[in-house]
Amino acid sequence: MNEKEKLLIIQNYLDEILPDAGCELTYSSDYGFLISVMLSAQCTDKKVNAVTEPFFAKYKSLKEVDELSIEEVEKLIKSLGLYKNKAKNIKGITHDLITKFDGKVPEDKEKLTSLPGVGNKTANVVRAELFKIPEFPVDTHVERVSKRLGLVNENDDVLKIEKKLQKLFDEKNWIKLHHQFIHFGRYFCKAISPKCDECKLRGICKKTSQK
């Protein structure tokens, strides 16, 4: 099997089992989505949604969120990991959006990553979801799936993985594949107890080939 055939098998299987994979974070505003993505670091989307849905239902504008004290923000997101640092990021993000970007989330990556708590991955997710700019964000699920399928090397960091995946797959499919890799890693190719026996990719998976 050559590389082209392997990539086609992967894409066809993901299209078969995850044809409608998409973002699982709920949001109703651009800044709300940006904050949700930032909050999702080392935390599940489900937990983030449980916090942000009542948060943004109560504080309906960027100005209202900006006017909250750091202590109020901490109390609202206390159930999330690293909540103290994330509360500071929320305050910094809202302040910068208002004072530097006219209250709108910028699509430029350099401007996005200038915001507190917004790194490369968060910026890529925001660009892909809000602006439909082709990106292939790499989270823990994308990293695990990519390594198990032999698309990247075991010692590759997230930036190397991102560049390799962008080179392997057609740009028009990056956003869809990003979501499919996440869902595949979250529900099938899990870190613990992956569903290998029922997976049609087990023949090319490094994990199953090592058993």
- The full set of domains in the chain, from first to last, is 3-21+136-209 (1.10.1670.10), 30-131 (1.10.340.30)
- Active-site residue among 121, 147, 163, 195? 121
Q: What is the dihedral of CA 182, 55, 121, 196, to 10 degrees?
A: -20
Q: Rounded to whole angstroms, how far apart are CA atoms 170 and 154?
A: 23
137: tokens are 């964000």
Question: Is 121 among the residues known to form the active site?
Answer: yes
Question: Is 58 among the residues known to form the active site?
Answer: no
pLDDT at 206 over 90: no
pLDDT at position 208 is 72
pLDDT in tens, 159-190: 999 999 999 999 999 999 999 999 999 999 99
pLDDT at position 138 is 97
pLDDT at position 1 is 82
Q: Rounded to whole angstroms, how far apart are CA atoms 38 and 32?
A: 10
Please say whether the beta carbons of 99 and 67 come within 8 A: no
pLDDT at position 17 is 98
- Active-site residue among 139, 163, 172, 197? 139
Over residues 25-40, mean pLDDT: 97
pLDDT at position 209 is 59
